[in-house]
Structure 1
Amino acid sequence: MCGIAGFVDPHGGLPALELEAVARSMAASLAHRGPDDAGVWTEQESGVALAHRRLAILDPSPAGHQPMVSAGRRYVIVFNGEIYNFSELRAELEHLGAAPAWRGRSDTETLLAAFEHWGVTAALKRCAGMFAFALFDTRKKVLYLARDRIGEKPLYFGLSGGVLLFGSELSALRTHPAWCGQVDRNAITLLLRHGYIPQPYSIYCGIGKLKPGTCLELPLARMASGELPAPVAYWSLSEVISRGSAEPFSGTTAAATAMLDRLLREAVAGQMVADVPVGAFLSGGVDSSTVVALMQAQSSRAVKTFTIGFHERGYDEAVDARALARQLGTDHTELYVTPAEALAVVPRLPSLYDEPFADSSQIPTFLIAQLARQEVTVSLSGDGGDESFGGYSRYASAHRLWGRVGRVPAPLRRLGAQSIRRTPAAVLDSPLLAWLDPLLRRHARAGRTSDKLRKAADIVSLPDERAFYRGMTSHWKTPAEIVRGADEPMTVLTDPGTSFEDRDFRERMMAWDTLGYLPDDILAKVDRAAMGVSLETRMPLLDHRVIEFAWRLPLDFRIREGAGKWLLRQVLHHYVPKALVERPKMGFGVPIGEWLRGALRDWAESLIGATRLNREGFFRPLPVRDAWAEHLAGTRDWGAYLWDVLMFQAWLESQRSPVRPGRESAARATTHV
């Protein structure tokens, strides 16, 4: 992994030395992503500058230095990520007589040769990997920005002051002299709903995230228009799902298990290739256990595995991970984290994540990355199995619940929801209604009966499956009423082009999560946490060949008798006794609600005080303050909701820039950063 940045200034006129100096400053902001090397490339007459920070993983020699120029001198690239099948591509180019005289062993050099021979789009379709890159065609004067199929590697881009800026993180864009970013109030509504800002949006107006599986092709001549062309997909989950329907897997479960085992073994083997130490995160769950089992089965030495544990009941996976490590014979390291150590991460979150991000599992994710980095430079992870193989319990519970409530006329559902909302929490939590708790626990694992009933009330009156799932996975249900001067933009969960109407409700949820929650929450969380300590993470379950196979499978090969990842479990049982891994999914969380009532209370109060909220002008204080009061009183758990607001407020404070008038008024302003 690395950090990339750059710009295209169509106005020209900057001296070569100044172009280079600006590019170097952009790269310097990404030093944590690439501490091993740095470089820039500029073309003064075109106003193009590319910058790179390197974390040396493959071919750490100077032959892997970037920016890298192709052998034919046509292309220049800054590349972040890994092409796992670069050896196969290199061999194919050699067989075709299209290979240059190789200067080194890097995947970046192989990729450039592939572009020269097959062209950009055709070469991308041949690549298996995780990546984001900027490629400049010096002959045609065209800039390409591309991102991997699922979105493991980030890439921000947009026009600011007429200059195209791009980079792995927003900090690089903010370094450029043309930067004039304004906070996008609409994006804040998405943060409050989801806990993250989904692509194609960012926290800034006019700056976006490149969608996974797309490539933006920008002829420099078009820069004069002041508009950017739309990115074009070279891989599409919708097409994968359609092909899966047209060409379904028709073999036996034994044949499917053998096929998945082969695909995963190949993916794991390819992702273990590195010239630096490699290890893995191990939680003891199905996904990480499968990855580690396949690593150990193909390794001649004990694989280094890492786990963190918490002393708080319900948050500790270390015991299960320890048992798995002992069974597989890995070289295992575990660290039990105290609340004080976890809380010490909180002040670092705004700079680590670079834009507001409010999945509180960001804290343990950073801690396990920090632990692993003490011994390895690359760590494999089990992320991605839930979305392709139906692992989240909410898939089965939402399907079951909607199957019941969807048959009730909408007016009756709305009436029932209103009754629940009007009933005091003390009544809902009374012993008289204790019989409801076991039923509700099937759909919500934690919280009071009143919290579960009120969450149910928010969603049972929604009109269809899609709205139901959006409500079920939302934090604040009406965020545009909380953010001043904002409208909530369209996302994967509201876009008519991603309805997947012809699929089972459970598969629709899996598809929506693959397009949204996976890249924008899970992968963003892991990337920023790991890159914050210069650790590369790799995810074999996200190999596109594995995902494409998963979407050919019958649904009951993935979800069977209400339990997800059925076929993945069959693979794992070949390596690990069933009793070691068949347990309820725990998740990777922290007791954020308790912390907000305790050690984080003063910090939170300083960020969401009514006077401050009024002065800064982004949030309407009343709903935030009401939620805070109920949370402190213990009448309702608003922890996740408040964390959304607090992560924005902490990020805003970290920007240390004056407030600038925005869409409402000078008193209720956007931040100029």
Structure 2
Amino acid sequence: MCGLTGFWQFGGCPGDDARATVQRMADTLIHRGPDDAGVWVDAEVGIALGHRRLAILDLSPAGHQPMVSASGRYVIVFNGEIYNYLELREKLTKVNPTGMVPPWRGHSDTETLLAAFEAWGIEKTLERVVGMFAIALWDRKRRMLTLARDRMGEKPLYYGWVHGTLVFGSELKALRAYPGFDNAIERQALALFMRYDYIPAPWSIYENIWKLPPGCFVQFGEQSLSPGASPAGKGEIKAYWSVREVAEAGFREPLACTEAEAAQELERLLRQAITGQMVADVPLGAFLSGGVDSSTVVALMQAQSARPVQTFTIGFHEGDYNEAEHAKAVARHLGTAHTDLYVTPDDAMAVIPRLPALYDEPFADSSQIPTFLVAGLARRQVTVSLSGDGGDELFGGYTRYFWTRALWKRLGVVPMPLRRALAAALTGPSPAAWNRVFRLLGPLLPRRLRVKLAGDKMHKLAELLALDSLEAVYRYLVSHWKHPAEELVIGCTEPETILSRRDAWPASLAQGQRPFEEVMMFLDQLSYLPDDILVKVDRAAMGVSLETRVPLLDHRVVEFTWRLPYHFKIREGQSKWLLRQVLYRYVPKELIERPKMGFGVPLDQWLRGPLREWAEDLLSEARLKRKAFLNPELVRQKWQEHLLGRRNWAYHLWNVLMWEAWLAA
């Protein structure tokens, strides 16, 4: 795991200046690579590559980057791991185009990548590798720069233009370190952030800076940088692998086997992925929440380890947010060397000032806080940690998959005119008025109808009544601000994303020929997973120089899940059915079966209590008016309603607070 960066300045640049600039850019990524640093410059061409290294494989100088290929043609900076690099080396040694064995200088996967690019070319190599990666590859012969990203988007890669110079890097802070960086805020991306609490690819928070989508590569030649080329575009992005194609192939050729055979094959694929991801020349462990996904990963790790696997869990004293006891029970059963740490609200809140620099771009998934804490706990003992992320998206684990269907089942049978009338009736009284009504009627109502914040729930019900499709219900459930461009972000329109572009979906999903739960899994794999979940884990872990690996996202596992019949994933209201069958071979069912618990923090309480002063400063009317990005009246209204306990606007406000904190950093 490392950090990469660089730039390409048309017409060349003084060598000393280029070295100093790219070194400064790379030094912003020292947290991603504290063990080593390097730069490579061709001043005549104007290309500069920088690298920070976290040594995982081949700790010797033979793994140093930037690295030049054996022939001298290619130069690479690389972040990530290639899990099948030994297999690739064997193939390269046996079938080398020149008839010669590559003169291996060490045993790093970086050197293997370079040899593969020499032998097979760029796209063929990307199709053969198994791993997580972001790559910047300079072809000295063709004067061509290639940027590439792994299939599921585990590793980040930004690129774009600063005054006609092409810049790129693992994090935005490296691009901002380029001299003269003054790219304006991209307000369309800000609207997307306020809706989803993350910025979906290919957008970034800056104009003319983009995220390279997962499974893609983009190339730039000298013509891209020439004065007449209008250097403001994303380039021609090419996909070498895509979830859409994988899903379509799975629908065409579904798996024809028994349940037992499917479970056996899934276990084989998971063992294969985990075996590859347990290779490291440094201490290795795993996050363990006690849920299905992380327990499966840890169980299979322990099954093929001669010594106890080191596992880590963060616990909270608030029962609604605490999974530590469940994790401890699973760890005890599996025999892992388990460490848990119970944190206080003060411990968690101490992380908040670090979030803007840590995430480097507005990011508002509040589980970023416990994720950072558990990464810090693990880093005390290991350098690499496996996680169970991806199981929800692959096997239908999110509660919203069930809520969407259940809500639409009730709403869809009611004619739209009647629903609109009911919605108007519910929004007629203010939330405060509804609260008063329920307080007065409380003694007369059944216990199940004595709800807190009744007015908040009535107005949310009115919003749901206005929805006209399953798709609209899903989008409602994944949105914080429902109409950010119309009511919140000043001077912008909200762009389309994969969630609203049916033409980008597999035909059978777009035409309603498959269960809608599969539509949601598909959309989450393309957006929520890479742009929220994997961003959250990558930045939190790299903030403490910890490498994370995600075996459930091995592309062979992903391809297998899209061939599974729907009822192998969701059955009789239970998610992850097939994954559970694998897990129950190692862990008793009673240790796992319990309601799904989020990895979050009590934001609503904190904003009315210990975070109130901090939030009040960021949400002051004067500040909001001065910055002129957001509608100050609307933000202040929601803040006051939240403080008074009339509505729970915690997640809406957290988006605004993370934006304002990032803007102030």
TM-score tier (shorter): over 0.9
Q: Which residue of 2 aligns with 1:398?
A: 404
Is the Cα–Cα contact under 8 Å of residues 453 and 646 in structure 2 kept in the other structure? no
Q: State the Cα distance separating 1:562 from its structure 2 match.
A: 1.4
Between 1:219-228 and 1:366-375, the stretch displaced more is 219-228
Q: What are the within-5 Å matches in structure 2 for residues 18-37 of structure 1?
A: 18-37=17-36
Structure 2 residue 9 is the aligned partner of structure 1 residue 9: yes
- The equivalent position to 2:500 in structure 1, one of 480, 494, 498, is 494
- The equivalent position to 1:255 in structure 2, one of 261, 264, 268, is 261
Q: Which residue of 2 aligns with 1:662?
A: none
CA distance in 2, matches of 1:78, 1:253: 44
1:265–1:413: structure 2 CA closer, same or farther, 3 Å change rule? same
CA distance in 1, matches of 2:260, 2:483: 47
Q: Which amino acid aligns with 1:160?
A: V
> Equivalent residue of 2:31, what SS?
helix
- The equivalent position to 1:290 in structure 2, one of 266, 287, 296, is 296
Structure 2 residue 426 is the aligned partner of structure 1 residue 420: yes
Q: Which residue of 1 aligns with 2:306?
A: 300
Is the Cα–Cα contact under 8 Å of residues 145 and 220 in structure 2 kept in the other structure? yes
Q: Which residue of 2 aligns with 1:226?
A: 230
Q: State the Cα distance separating 1:437 from its structure 2 match.
A: 8.8
Structure 2 residue 607 is the aligned partner of structure 1 residue 615: no
1:549–1:301: structure 2 CA closer, same or farther, 3 Å change rule? same
Is the Cα–Cα contact under 8 Å of residues 170 and 354 in structure 1 kept in the other structure? yes
CA distance in 2, matches of 1:167, 1:457: 45
Is the Cα–Cα contact under 8 Å of residues 96 and 119 in structure 2 kept in the other structure? no
Q: Considering only aligned residues, what root-mean-square deviation do their CA atoms show, in Å? A: 1.7
Is the Cα–Cα contact under 8 Å of residues 125 and 234 in structure 1 kept in the other structure? yes
CA distance in 1, matches of 2:385, 2:133: 16
CA distance in 2, matches of 1:437, 1:383: 38
1:149–1:436: structure 2 CA closer, same or farther, 3 Å change rule? farther
Q: Which residue of 2 aligns with 1:73?
A: 72
Q: Which residue of 2 aligns with 1:582?
A: 593
Q: State the Cα distance separating 1:606 from its structure 2 match.
A: 0.3
> Equivalent residue of 2:638, what SS?
helix
Between 1:340-349 and 1:485-494, the stretch displaced more is 485-494
> Equivalent residue of 2:7, what SS?
strand
Q: What are the within-5 Å matches in structure 2 for residues 100-111 of structure 1?
A: 100-111=102-113
Q: Which residue of 1 aligns with 2:198?
A: 196
CA distance in 1, matches of 2:457, 2:155: 36
1:330–1:438: structure 2 CA closer, same or farther, 3 Å change rule? farther
CA distance in 1, matches of 2:461, 2:317: 31
Q: Which residue of 2 aligns with 1:95?
A: 94
Q: State the Cα distance separating 1:250 from its structure 2 match.
A: 1.0
Q: Which amino acid aligns with 1:207?
A: I
Structure 2 residue 53 is the aligned partner of structure 1 residue 54: yes
Q: Which amino acid aligns with 1:236?
A: S
Q: State the Cα distance separating 1:435 from its structure 2 match.
A: 7.4
Structure 2 residue 574 is the aligned partner of structure 1 residue 568: no
Q: Which residue of 2 aligns with 1:667?
A: none
TM-score, normalising length: structure 1 = 0.94
1:619–1:235: structure 2 CA closer, same or farther, 3 Å change rule? same
CA distance in 1, matches of 2:279, 2:132: 14
Kindly provide the CA deviation profile for residues 339-358 of structure 1, in whole angstroms up to 9, marking residues without a partner as x: 11111001011100011111
Is the Cα–Cα contact under 8 Å of residues 4 and 27 in structure 1 kept in the other structure? yes
CA distance in 2, matches of 1:105, 1:436: 69
Structure 2 residue 395 is the aligned partner of structure 1 residue 389: yes
CA distance in 2, matches of 1:426, 1:649: 28
Structure 2 residue 657 is the aligned partner of structure 1 residue 651: no
Is the Cα–Cα contact under 8 Å of residues 460 and 468 in structure 1 kept in the other structure? no
Is the Cα–Cα contact under 8 Å of residues 2 and 80 in structure 1 kept in the other structure? yes
Q: What are the within-5 Å matches in structure 2 for residues 504-653 of structure 1?
A: 504-653=515-664
CA distance in 2, matches of 1:436, 1:549: 48
Q: Which residue of 2 aligns with 1:465?
A: 470
CA distance in 1, matches of 2:592, 2:454: 29
Q: Which amino acid aligns with 2:271?
A: R
Q: State the Cα distance separating 1:607 from its structure 2 match.
A: 0.5
Is the Cα–Cα contact under 8 Å of residues 380 and 539 in structure 1 kept in the other structure? yes
- The equivalent position to 1:315 in structure 2, one of 306, 316, 321, is 321
Q: State the Cα distance separating 1:447 from its structure 2 match.
A: 7.0
Kindly provide the CA deviation profile for residues 155-196 of structure 1, in whole angstroms up to 9, marking residues without a partner as x: 111011000010000000010114121111111111111111
Q: Which residue of 1 aligns with 2:171?
A: 169
> Equivalent residue of 1:232, what SS?
strand
Kindly provide the CA deviation profile for residues 501-544 of structure 1, in whole angstroms up to 9, marking residues without a partner as x: 14321000001100000011100000000000000000000001
> Equivalent residue of 1:17, what SS?
helix
Structure 2 residue 123 is the aligned partner of structure 1 residue 157: no
Q: State the Cα distance separating 1:359 from its structure 2 match.
A: 0.6
Is the Cα–Cα contact under 8 Å of residues 431 and 459 in structure 2 kept in the other structure? no
CA distance in 2, matches of 1:453, 1:106: 59
Q: What are the within-5 Å matches in structure 2 for residues 424-439 of structure 1?
A: 424-425=430-431, 428=434, 430=438
Q: State the Cα distance separating 1:88 from its structure 2 match.
A: 1.0
Q: Which residue of 1 aligns with 2:459?
A: 454
1:31–1:439: structure 2 CA closer, same or farther, 3 Å change rule? farther
CA distance in 1, matches of 2:80, 2:320: 35
Kindly provide the CA deviation profile for residues 108-149 of structure 1, in whole angstroms up to 9, marking residues without a partner as x: 111111111111001101111111010011101110001111
Q: State the Cα distance separating 1:439 from its structure 2 match.
A: 9.7
Structure 2 residue 478 is the aligned partner of structure 1 residue 479: no
1:33–1:439: structure 2 CA closer, same or farther, 3 Å change rule? farther
Q: State the Cα distance separating 1:438 from its structure 2 match.
A: 5.9
Q: Which amino acid aligns with 1:29?
A: T
Q: State the Cα distance separating 1:97 from its structure 2 match.
A: 3.4
Q: State the Cα distance separating 1:436 from its structure 2 match.
A: 9.3
> Equivalent residue of 1:45, what SS?
coil
Kindly provide the CA deviation profile for residues 18-42 of structure 1, in whole angstroms up to 9, marking residues without a partner as x: 1111110000000000000000111
* Percentage of pairs with the same residue: 59
> Equivalent residue of 1:46, what SS?
coil
CA distance in 1, matches of 2:31, 2:157: 16
CA distance in 2, matches of 1:449, 1:260: 45
> Equivalent residue of 1:349, what SS?
helix
Kindly provide the CA deviation profile for residues 455-489 of structure 1, in whole angstroms up to 9, marking residues without a partner as x: 33223322322222111211011111111111111
CA distance in 2, matches of 1:74, 1:356: 39
Between 1:534-543 and 1:390-399, the stretch displaced more is 390-399
Q: Which residue of 2 aligns with 1:145?
A: 147
Q: Which residue of 1 aligns with 2:181?
A: 179
1:508–1:447: structure 2 CA closer, same or farther, 3 Å change rule? farther
CA distance in 1, matches of 2:294, 2:81: 20
Is the Cα–Cα contact under 8 Å of residues 160 and 166 in structure 2 kept in the other structure? yes
> Equivalent residue of 2:545, what SS?
coil
Q: Which residue of 2 aligns with 1:324?
A: 330
Number of aligned residue pairs: 648
CA distance in 2, matches of 1:459, 1:9: 52
| Structure 1 unaligned residues grouped into runs of 5+ | 441-445, 655-673
